[in-house]
Every structure is written in C-alpha cells, then in structure tokens.
Amino acid sequence: MTVVPGEPHHVREAGQPAVIEGVKGEWRVEPALLDAPFDGRAALLSPFDRLVHDRKRLAEVFECDYQLEMYKPVAQRQWGYYALPILYGDRLVGKLDATADRLEGVLRVDAVHEDEPFTPDTAAAIHAEIDDLACWLGLELMLPD
C-alpha cells in the first residue's frame, strides 16, 4: 500500500495524479473522465458538500471564498445564516440565502449573492434550480421584492 502525501489514507492511489496550474500539491482524478466532454449545469450545494468542505482547496482551486455563517453574529454575516454555494458549470459563482418557512409554506429567498456577474443564461439556470428546490421541499417560492 502506497500512501500519497497530503491525501486521506482511504484515498490511497485511487484515480490518476493531476496537477492544477497555479495550485500547490497533487490531486487525484478519475481517468475515465479526463477525455470525456464536460456538460456543466447549475446546482445549489449544501454547505457540507465535499466540493466546498475543504476551504483551503476551495480558495486555491476555485478562487471561492465561503464560510458557513450560522455561528456568526448576524451583524458579521456576509451571505446569510445557511447560505448555499451556487455552482454553474465548473465555477462557484455565488451564494443563495434562503429560508424554508414550513409554517408559512414558503421558501423565502432573502438574497442571491453574485460572486461574479451572472449572464442571462446563468441567472435563468440558477432561478430554475431555486424553483426546483422549492418544489422538492413542497413550498411556494417567495422572491425578494
């Protein structure tokens, strides 16, 4: 068994070594996906998603600043109590600050923070994801005025 420095022990030699230009260290990738075409999409991620879990990697690889702010005082929050990172294609482009108010039967969108300006296509795809989230939760969507 060979352990790759910097990798968790359970990773071992899974995948193929890869280097990301401008980022320290070596990463692992699934070889079958290297030559496959990439069709990105919009997605709302959990703050606990593996993509955003390692904040240092998130900053280095995706140039994204993110923190779960539920334990911060309200006045110190930038994005909201439980903001969801927004993925579009291969970029993290923003955060969704929304609250599921089950008593009122609504998914209340307090803000959509754009880390980079959204194109009309990006905005439409993200809005569709927010609609899907409200539907999945069985709640009516309430957007800010």
Q: What is the mean pLDDT of residues 72-99?
A: 94
Per the structure, the complete domain to which residue 126 belongs is given by 37-142
CA angle (47, 100, 93) in 5-degree steps: 40
Q: So what's the pLDDT on residue 5?
A: 53
Could you tell me the pLDDT band of residue 118, with boundaries at 50, 70 and 90?
A: very high
Same domain, 91 and 134: yes
Same domain, 73 and 13: no
Query: For the chain, what is the mean pLDDT?
Result: 87
Q: How far apart are CA 57 and CA 43, in angstroms?
A: 19
Could you tell me the pLDDT band of residue 83, with boundaries at 50, 70 and 90?
A: very high
Q: What is the mean pLDDT of residues 120-138?
A: 97
Q: How far apart are CA 78 and CA 21, in angstroms?
A: 30
Q: So what's the pLDDT on residue 104?
A: 96
Q: So what's the pLDDT on residue 45?
A: 94
Same domain, 73 and 111: yes
pLDDT digits (tens, 9 = 90+) for 37-68: 888 899 999 998 888 888 888 888 888 889 88
Q: So what's the pLDDT on residue 57?
A: 81
Q: Where are the alpha helices (DSSP H) in the chain?
A: 50-53, 55-62, 120-137
Same domain, 44 and 32: no
Same domain, 67 and 121: yes
Contacts of 52 (CB under 8 A, 6+ apart): 45, 58, 64, 66, 85, 92
